Amino acid sequence: ILNVEQSPQSLHVQEGDSTNFTCSFPSSNFYALHWYRWETAKSPEALFVMTLNGDEKKKGRISATLNTKEGYSYLYIKGSQPEDSATYLCAFGGATNKLIFGTGTLLAVQP
Amino acid sequence: SAVISQKPSRDICQRGTSLTIQCQVDSQVTMMFWYRQQPGQSLTLIATANQGSEATYESGFVIDKFPISRPNLTFSTLTVSNLSPEDSSIYLCSAGRAGGSYNEQFFGPGTRLTVL
Protein backbone atom coordinates (compact mmCIF):
# COMPACT_ATOMS: atom_id res chain seq x y z
CA ILE A 1 0.00 0.00 0.00
CA LEU A 2 1.44 3.34 -1.05
CA ASN A 3 1.27 6.11 1.54
CA VAL A 4 1.31 9.81 0.82
CA GLU A 5 1.46 11.97 3.92
CA GLN A 6 1.08 15.70 4.32
CA SER A 7 1.89 17.91 7.26
CA PRO A 8 0.71 19.87 9.01
CA GLN A 9 -2.94 18.85 8.82
CA SER A 10 -3.99 22.49 9.25
CA LEU A 11 -2.35 25.85 9.57
CA HIS A 12 -3.55 29.28 10.65
CA VAL A 13 -1.40 32.25 9.67
CA GLN A 14 -1.73 36.01 9.55
CA GLU A 15 -1.90 37.93 6.31
CA GLY A 16 1.65 38.64 5.15
CA ASP A 17 3.20 35.60 6.82
CA SER A 18 5.16 33.14 4.73
CA THR A 19 4.45 29.48 5.23
CA ASN A 20 5.32 26.02 3.95
CA PHE A 21 3.90 22.51 3.98
CA THR A 22 5.38 19.08 3.44
CA CYS A 23 4.37 16.12 1.30
CA SER A 24 6.15 12.78 1.73
CA PHE A 25 5.74 9.92 -0.71
CA PRO A 26 7.32 6.60 -1.73
CA SER A 27 10.74 7.13 -3.31
CA SER A 28 10.45 4.04 -5.51
CA ASN A 29 8.59 3.84 -8.83
CA PHE A 30 8.29 7.61 -8.89
CA TYR A 31 6.81 9.23 -12.00
CA ALA A 32 5.41 12.62 -10.97
CA LEU A 33 4.31 14.64 -7.96
CA HIS A 34 1.26 16.86 -8.31
CA TRP A 35 0.17 19.79 -6.14
CA TYR A 36 -3.43 21.01 -6.16
CA ARG A 37 -5.26 23.83 -4.42
CA TRP A 38 -8.84 23.10 -3.42
CA GLU A 39 -11.13 25.89 -2.33
CA THR A 40 -14.49 25.06 -0.81
CA ALA A 41 -17.23 24.39 -3.39
CA LYS A 42 -14.76 24.70 -6.28
CA SER A 43 -12.78 22.23 -8.38
CA PRO A 44 -9.30 21.28 -7.19
CA GLU A 45 -6.95 23.47 -9.23
CA ALA A 46 -3.68 22.06 -10.50
CA LEU A 47 -0.70 24.10 -9.26
CA PHE A 48 2.39 22.11 -10.24
CA VAL A 49 3.47 18.85 -11.81
CA MET A 50 6.99 17.94 -10.76
CA THR A 51 9.02 15.13 -12.20
CA LEU A 52 12.77 15.57 -11.72
CA ASN A 53 14.80 15.36 -8.53
CA GLY A 54 15.75 18.91 -7.55
CA ASP A 55 12.86 20.44 -9.52
CA GLU A 56 11.76 23.86 -8.37
CA LYS A 57 8.59 25.44 -9.72
CA LYS A 58 7.06 28.83 -9.10
CA LYS A 59 3.71 30.46 -9.79
CA GLY A 60 3.44 33.97 -8.39
CA ARG A 61 3.93 33.78 -4.62
CA ILE A 62 3.72 29.99 -4.55
CA SER A 63 6.69 27.73 -5.17
CA ALA A 64 7.52 24.06 -4.71
CA THR A 65 10.59 21.87 -4.51
CA LEU A 66 11.04 18.16 -5.08
CA ASN A 67 13.40 15.55 -3.65
CA THR A 68 12.65 12.17 -5.23
CA LYS A 69 15.56 10.35 -3.58
CA GLU A 70 14.26 10.95 -0.08
CA GLY A 71 10.62 11.18 -1.11
CA TYR A 72 9.44 14.65 -0.14
CA SER A 73 8.20 17.91 -1.63
CA TYR A 74 7.75 21.31 -0.02
CA LEU A 75 5.17 23.91 -1.01
CA TYR A 76 5.96 27.51 -0.03
CA ILE A 77 3.65 30.51 0.04
CA LYS A 78 5.31 33.88 0.39
CA GLY A 79 3.35 36.75 1.93
CA SER A 80 0.09 34.80 2.48
CA GLN A 81 -3.15 36.52 1.50
CA PRO A 82 -6.70 35.65 2.60
CA GLU A 83 -7.42 34.38 -0.93
CA ASP A 84 -4.73 31.72 -0.38
CA SER A 85 -7.03 30.04 2.14
CA ALA A 86 -7.72 26.55 0.79
CA THR A 87 -6.77 22.92 1.19
CA TYR A 88 -3.48 22.08 -0.52
CA LEU A 89 -3.26 18.52 -1.81
CA CYS A 90 -0.31 16.59 -3.10
CA ALA A 91 -0.64 13.45 -5.21
CA PHE A 92 1.90 10.80 -6.11
CA GLY A 93 1.87 9.49 -9.65
CA GLY A 94 3.53 6.16 -10.34
CA ALA A 95 3.83 4.24 -13.56
CA THR A 96 0.05 3.85 -13.92
CA ASN A 97 -2.41 6.61 -14.75
CA LYS A 98 -3.62 6.74 -11.14
CA LEU A 99 -2.88 9.39 -8.54
CA ILE A 100 -2.55 8.69 -4.82
CA PHE A 101 -3.47 11.68 -2.69
CA GLY A 102 -2.41 12.84 0.73
CA THR A 103 -5.00 14.08 3.22
CA GLY A 104 -4.16 17.70 2.49
CA THR A 105 -3.11 20.74 4.48
CA LEU A 106 -5.89 23.17 5.32
CA LEU A 107 -4.56 26.73 5.26
CA ALA A 108 -6.48 29.61 6.82
CA VAL A 109 -5.07 33.11 6.32
CA GLN A 110 -6.51 35.72 8.62
CA PRO A 111 -6.60 39.37 7.54
CA SER B 1 -6.76 21.62 -19.71
CA ALA B 2 -10.38 20.51 -19.50
CA VAL B 3 -13.44 22.04 -17.86
CA ILE B 4 -15.51 19.54 -15.92
CA SER B 5 -18.99 19.99 -14.56
CA GLN B 6 -20.84 17.79 -12.11
CA LYS B 7 -24.39 17.62 -10.98
CA PRO B 8 -25.91 17.74 -8.53
CA SER B 9 -23.54 19.93 -6.53
CA ARG B 10 -25.06 18.62 -3.32
CA ASP B 11 -27.85 16.40 -2.13
CA ILE B 12 -29.40 15.05 1.03
CA CYS B 13 -30.69 11.50 0.69
CA GLN B 14 -32.48 8.98 2.83
CA ARG B 15 -30.91 5.73 3.91
CA GLY B 16 -31.55 2.92 1.44
CA THR B 17 -32.03 5.14 -1.61
CA SER B 18 -29.56 5.75 -4.44
CA LEU B 19 -27.98 8.86 -5.94
CA THR B 20 -26.65 9.21 -9.47
CA ILE B 21 -23.99 11.84 -10.12
CA GLN B 22 -23.28 13.11 -13.62
CA CYS B 23 -19.93 14.30 -14.92
CA GLN B 24 -19.51 16.20 -18.19
CA VAL B 25 -16.17 17.15 -19.76
CA ASP B 26 -15.91 19.93 -22.34
CA SER B 27 -13.50 18.00 -24.58
CA GLN B 28 -12.72 14.41 -25.44
CA VAL B 29 -10.50 12.77 -22.86
CA THR B 30 -9.03 9.33 -22.57
CA MET B 31 -9.29 8.82 -18.84
CA MET B 32 -12.11 9.54 -16.42
CA PHE B 33 -11.99 8.72 -12.74
CA TRP B 34 -14.29 8.83 -9.74
CA TYR B 35 -13.02 9.73 -6.26
CA ARG B 36 -14.51 9.96 -2.80
CA GLN B 37 -13.39 12.12 0.09
CA GLN B 38 -14.85 11.06 3.41
CA PRO B 39 -14.57 13.54 6.30
CA GLY B 40 -10.95 13.81 7.46
CA GLN B 41 -9.71 11.40 4.81
CA SER B 42 -7.72 11.75 1.62
CA LEU B 43 -9.19 11.73 -1.86
CA THR B 44 -9.60 8.02 -2.57
CA LEU B 45 -9.95 6.57 -6.05
CA ILE B 46 -13.15 4.55 -6.46
CA ALA B 47 -12.75 3.47 -10.06
CA THR B 48 -11.57 4.29 -13.55
CA ALA B 49 -14.50 4.82 -15.92
CA ASN B 50 -13.81 3.05 -19.22
CA GLN B 51 -15.58 4.17 -22.36
CA GLY B 52 -17.83 1.43 -23.69
CA SER B 53 -16.84 -1.19 -21.14
CA GLU B 54 -17.08 -1.96 -17.44
CA ALA B 55 -15.30 0.33 -15.01
CA THR B 56 -12.12 -0.79 -13.24
CA TYR B 57 -12.66 -0.72 -9.49
CA GLU B 58 -10.09 -0.19 -6.76
CA SER B 59 -9.74 -2.52 -3.82
CA GLY B 60 -12.65 -2.07 -1.45
CA PHE B 61 -15.09 -0.78 -4.06
CA VAL B 62 -17.55 -2.97 -5.96
CA ILE B 63 -19.80 -2.52 -8.94
CA ASP B 64 -22.99 -3.36 -7.08
CA LYS B 65 -22.47 -0.47 -4.68
CA PHE B 66 -20.93 2.01 -7.17
CA PRO B 67 -22.19 1.28 -10.70
CA ILE B 68 -20.50 3.52 -13.26
CA SER B 69 -21.38 4.28 -16.85
CA ARG B 70 -19.33 5.95 -19.55
CA PRO B 71 -21.22 5.92 -22.83
CA ASN B 72 -18.81 8.27 -24.65
CA LEU B 73 -15.54 10.15 -24.22
CA THR B 74 -17.04 13.20 -22.51
CA PHE B 75 -19.67 11.86 -20.07
CA SER B 76 -19.82 9.51 -17.10
CA THR B 77 -22.17 8.74 -14.22
CA LEU B 78 -21.55 7.31 -10.78
CA THR B 79 -24.40 5.82 -8.79
CA VAL B 80 -24.04 5.31 -5.06
CA SER B 81 -26.53 2.57 -4.22
CA ASN B 82 -28.31 1.52 -1.04
CA LEU B 83 -27.13 4.60 0.78
CA SER B 84 -26.04 4.55 4.41
CA PRO B 85 -24.72 7.42 6.57
CA GLU B 86 -21.17 6.11 5.95
CA ASP B 87 -21.59 7.14 2.30
CA SER B 88 -21.76 10.80 3.29
CA SER B 89 -18.80 12.22 1.39
CA ILE B 90 -17.71 14.50 -1.38
CA TYR B 91 -17.64 12.66 -4.71
CA LEU B 92 -15.45 14.05 -7.48
CA CYS B 93 -14.88 13.09 -11.06
CA SER B 94 -11.67 13.84 -12.89
CA ALA B 95 -10.41 13.55 -16.43
CA GLY B 96 -7.10 13.35 -18.16
CA ARG B 97 -5.33 12.15 -21.27
CA ALA B 98 -3.39 8.91 -21.00
CA GLY B 99 0.30 9.75 -20.84
CA GLY B 100 -0.39 13.44 -21.21
CA SER B 101 1.60 15.86 -19.01
CA TYR B 102 2.61 13.16 -16.56
CA ASN B 103 -0.94 11.95 -16.02
CA GLU B 104 -2.26 15.33 -14.90
CA GLN B 105 -5.94 15.16 -13.97
CA PHE B 106 -8.53 17.92 -14.03
CA PHE B 107 -11.33 17.82 -11.50
CA GLY B 108 -14.99 18.68 -11.30
CA PRO B 109 -16.28 20.78 -8.38
CA GLY B 110 -17.58 17.74 -6.52
CA THR B 111 -20.92 16.51 -5.23
CA ARG B 112 -21.46 16.80 -1.51
CA LEU B 113 -23.70 13.95 -0.34
CA THR B 114 -25.32 13.75 3.07
CA VAL B 115 -27.17 10.57 3.98
CA LEU B 116 -29.68 10.74 6.82
Nearest to A43 among B41, B42, B108 (CB): B108
First-last CA distance in chain B: 37
pLDDT digits (tens, 9 = 90+) for A79-106: 999 999 999 999 998 877 789 999 999 9
Mean pLDDT of A66-73: 95
**At B85, which amino acid appears?**
P
| 3-state DSSP of B20-52 | EEEEEECCCCCEEEEEEECCCCCCEEEEEECCC
Mean pLDDT of B26-51: 91
Q: A interface mutation test: which of B103, B106, B111 has the most A CBs within 10 A?
A: B103
pLDDT digits (tens, 9 = 90+) for A4-58: 999 999 999 999 999 999 999 988 888 899 999 999 889 999 999 999 999 999 9
Burial of B40 (0-12, 13-18, 19+ CB in 10 A): exposed
Q: A51 to chain B nearest CA, in Å?
A: 8
